[in-house]
Amino acid sequence: MCDYSLEKVASRPAAIADKLVSVRFPGSATVGFASASDHSTAVCLRPGTELAFDAPPQHSRRLFFGSKQAPGLVARFRQIDVDIKYVHHDALEFSDGTIVMVATLAPGQRATVLQLPAQTQRATTSDAARMHQARAQRIV
């Protein structure tokens, strides 16, 4: 997903092995992920997507000036407070449970998409049904 504040920015879904960079998008006050080769298009992550950062990501503190370093290199994308409108939902969860809001990442943080979340059960069932039907048509 892409946060509500990126609704007016061109976007595309993430793919495995995408090289991403955190950027502040023109016309938006928020930070999100873009392709390392195209900083004008937001790359939207689905909850459960795993990222590996090149270095521990720097992010701003909520109540203090300055920046802080995240506790690791690998994080899982998730959304928090989804029932509250007009707040940032996009977050990264690190292995120790630390949550870092994507909007607080310092621009220029580089990451690679390691893994996408599994398809939903409905999609998997649908795919299995199509494969079964195709197999049945070949047999006949």
pLDDT digits 0-9 by tens, 64-106: 567 889 999 999 999 999 898 888 889 999 999 999 999 999 9
Full-model pTM: 0.78
| Neighbouring C-alpha atoms within 13 Å toward the C-beta of 80 | 12
Domain count, the chain: 1
User: Of 76, 66, 65, 64, which is closest to residue 100 (Cα–Cα)?
Assistant: 76
Q: How many CB atoms lie within 10 A of CB 116?
A: 17
pLDDT tens profile 102-129? 999 999 999 999 999 987 444 444 555 5
Residue 14 pLDDT exceeds 70? yes
For 40, the domain range is: 4-139
Give 96-124 as a DSSP string.
Answer: TS-EEEGGGBPTT-EEEEEEPPPPPHHHH
